[in-house]
């Protein structure tokens, strides 16, 4: 039973969250309604003040002042089926569990203003990442060997505050955005003491602040309607006091090399290309998220993740129609002989690989407009043979999200 509880513990630690957003790993595929409607693209396609969060160099295209306020409602549907029980044996066909972490609201605020002479500055605040589960309805099942999730509940929320600055002339621009990240992590579970009792493990929520930097560049090929973009986001060190180690120590994870309270947000870099001809734009992004180099994710066996995003926009006077697709490979390395692999594949919700997106925008007046996006994400089945237990764990994670922005320009 001790080994199986350890597995549940690692899930609460490494994957803890406000439920898994429509994500690449734990990072949102896009950070505004325009980007999300176009598959999370934005490295080479200008999206107004939204571009501050995808490629700060592109805000050099801002005319006057542009303000965006909005957010995303996100609802995941995570189901886990496992035949690994409290004693590390199998319980036959398996027991299915639904996570109750289903409702999330993610804010987005952005402002950019043109100071003339090629200089544009801005400020933005947005939810950038998160993940989590809530299995309090599953147990613990005291005095039996039923498969259960030990009442795991976890909540990771990450917010970014950035101040982008861009300079552009003619067909080129560069940008930089100092970033401060706020994170809150809360992990807990119920640990059985024997046949008839259990005790709570956890310390409530812990907060952390970290600093990073984002760099961008863009170049438009003259008379071809093609824009090229490149971005780099630095890693951000985050540490959540008395979370991972406290819960880990309760189950014997006491070695300094096993894990700490650090859960670093990874570095990423990307390239994009946008083609615009008349009222039609088609854009393609590629980025690499360095999960395998980030403390915490690295400890749990994640690998670096390639993400591909395709988006299109068609403009009809004041109406814009948008669609997109986003694919990110599973960052979890499968190894059927390890506990951590069983946990990552079976209990970690942030494994959604394919996202299908639609959206529209409408300009009501010269100064006021709105944008909307709908996102559907699906992972299929993630099946892991738990070789050490001769058991299996299967996870599915389907997601829906609706985003809306209100824009004001002057």
What one-character-per-residue DSSP string does 170-237 give? TTEEEEEEEEEEEEEEEEEEEEE-SSS-EEEEEEEEEEEEEEEEEEEEEEEETTTTEEEEEEEE--B-
Structure tokens at 119: 């200089």
Cα Rg of the chain, angstroms: 22
pLDDT of 138-195, one tens digit each? 766 555 545 566 777 888 888 999 999 999 998 999 999 999 999 998 888 777 666 5
Q: Which range, of 48-57, 75-84, 150-159, averages the lowest pLDDT?
A: 75-84
Q: Which of 103, 101, 98 is nearest to 134 (CA)?
A: 101
pLDDT of 371-381, one tens digit each? 999 999 877 54
Query: What structural domains does the chain harbor?
Result: 2-409 (2.40.160.60)
Q: What pLDDT does residue 68 have?
A: 92
**pTM of the entire predicted model:** 0.82
Report the C-alpha gap between 78 and 135 in whole angstroms.
11
pLDDT of residue 387 exceeding 60: no
Q: How confident is the model at residue 254 (pLDDT cuts 50, 70, 90)?
A: low
Q: What pLDDT does residue 367 have?
A: 93
Report the C-alpha gap between 9 and 250 in whole angstroms.
9
Residues contacting 282, CB < 8 A, separation 6+ = 274, 275, 310, 311, 312
Q: How confident is the model at residue 77 (pLDDT cuts 50, 70, 90)?
A: confident
Report the C-alpha gap between 195 and 401 in whole angstroms.
42
Report the C-alpha gap between 390 and 90 in whole angstroms.
8
């Amino acid at each position: 039973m001790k080994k199986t509880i350890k597995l549940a513990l690692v899930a609460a630690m490494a994957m803890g969250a406000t439920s898994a957003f429509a994500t690449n790993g734990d990072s949102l595929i896009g950070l505004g309604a325009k980007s999300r409607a176009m598959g999370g693209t934005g490295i080479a396609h200008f999206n107004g003040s939204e571009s501050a969060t995808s490629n700060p160099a592109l805000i050099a295209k801002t005319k006057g002042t542009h303000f965006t306020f909005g957010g995303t409602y996100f609802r995941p549907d995570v189901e886990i089926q496992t035949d690994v029980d409290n004693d590390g044996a199998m319980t036959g066909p398996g027991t299915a569990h639904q996570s109750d972490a289903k409702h999330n609201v993610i804010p987005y605020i952005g402002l950019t203003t043109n100071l003339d002479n090629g200089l544009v500055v801005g400020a933005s605040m947005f939810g950038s990442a998160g993940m989590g589960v809530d299995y309090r309805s599953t147990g613990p099942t005291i005095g039996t060997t039923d498969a259960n999730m030990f009442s795991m509940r976890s909540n990771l929320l990450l917010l970014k505050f950035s101040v982008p600055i861009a300079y552009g002339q003619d067909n080129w621009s560069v940008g930089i955005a100092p970033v401060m990240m706020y994170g809150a992590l809360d992990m807990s579970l119920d640990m059985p003491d024997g046949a008839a009792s259990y005790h709570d493990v956890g310390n409530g929520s812990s907060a952390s602040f970290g600093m990073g930097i984002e760099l961008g560049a863009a170049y438009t090929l003259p008379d071809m309607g093609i824009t090229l973009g490149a971005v780099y986001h630095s890693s951000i060190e985050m540490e959540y006091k008395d979370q991972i180690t406290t819960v880990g120590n309760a189950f014997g994870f006491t070695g300094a090399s096993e894990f700490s309270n650090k859960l670093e947000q990874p570095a990423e870099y990307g390239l994009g290309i946008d083609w615009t001809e008349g009222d039609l734009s088609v854009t393609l992004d590629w980025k690499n998220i360095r999960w395998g180099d980030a403390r915490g994710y690295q400890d749990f066996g994640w690998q670096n993740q390639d993400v591909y995003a395709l988006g299109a926009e068609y403009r009809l006077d004041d109406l814009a129609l948008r669609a997109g697709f986003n694919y990110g490979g599973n960052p979890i390395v499968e190894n059927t002989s390890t506990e951590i692999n069983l946990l990552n594949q079976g209990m970690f919700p942030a494994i959604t690989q394919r996202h299908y997106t639609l959206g529209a925008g409408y300009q009501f007046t010269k100064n006021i407009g709105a944008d909307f996006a709908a996102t559907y994400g699906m992972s299929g089945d993630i099946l892991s043979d738990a070789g050490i237990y001769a058991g299996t764990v299967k996870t599915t994670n389907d997601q829906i999200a609706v985003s809306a922005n209100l824009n004001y320009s002057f």
